[in-house]
Structure 1
């Protein structure tokens, strides 16, 4: 059975600290580039979807030359249930 030594512990601790700082440095370099690519891709997808929906609506309006108007079904005014009177309070100094 092997026993742990103080030198091995220090070596492991230094490796962990070095890995942390290397990862932090690389993240500062590459994370902005990665995020920029993701935002550009999302923007392109949004523009493409918008263009497709605009093209579809344009094609549907061009194929249908008639405009239909449907009047409201009920022309009677429905009175809402009256609950009570409105009281406006003013602050007096």
Structure 2
């Protein structure tokens, strides 16, 4: 059975710290390049999806939405029916 030694513990801590600070320095140097690469890829995907959907809306879709707006505004202008008469209650002493 092995026992934990102080030298082994120090080695393990130094390795962990070396990896931590090494990754920190690598991301500090190469992080902007990696971020730039991913942003470029996301922009390409967005542009590809935009161009597949036909780009800007054409005149026909704009007319359809105007027709829908006109129909919705007509439905919203319904008359309110009177519910009943107003009764004013007075307190009795």
Number of aligned positions between the proteins: 72
Unaligned 5+ runs, structure 2? 61-66, 84-93
TM-score normalised by structure 2 residue count:
0.56
Q: Do residues 3 (structure 1) and 3 (structure 2) align?
A: yes
More helix by share: 2
Match of 1:46 in 2: 46
Match of 1:13 in 2: 13
Kindly state the Cα deviation for residue 22 of structure 1 after the two structures are TM-superposed.
0.4
Give SS of 1:26's match: helix
Could you list the structure 1 runs, at least 4 aligned residues long, displaced by more than 4 angstroms after superposition.
none
Superposed CA RMSD: 3.4
Distance (Å, rounded) in 1 between the aligned partners of 2:36 and 2:48: 18
Match of 1:33 in 2: 33
Match of 2:79 in 1: 79
Match of 2:88 in 1: none
Distance (Å, rounded) in 2 between the aligned partners of 1:82 and 1:38: 61
TM-score normalised by structure 1 residue count:
0.56
Give SS of 1:36's match: helix
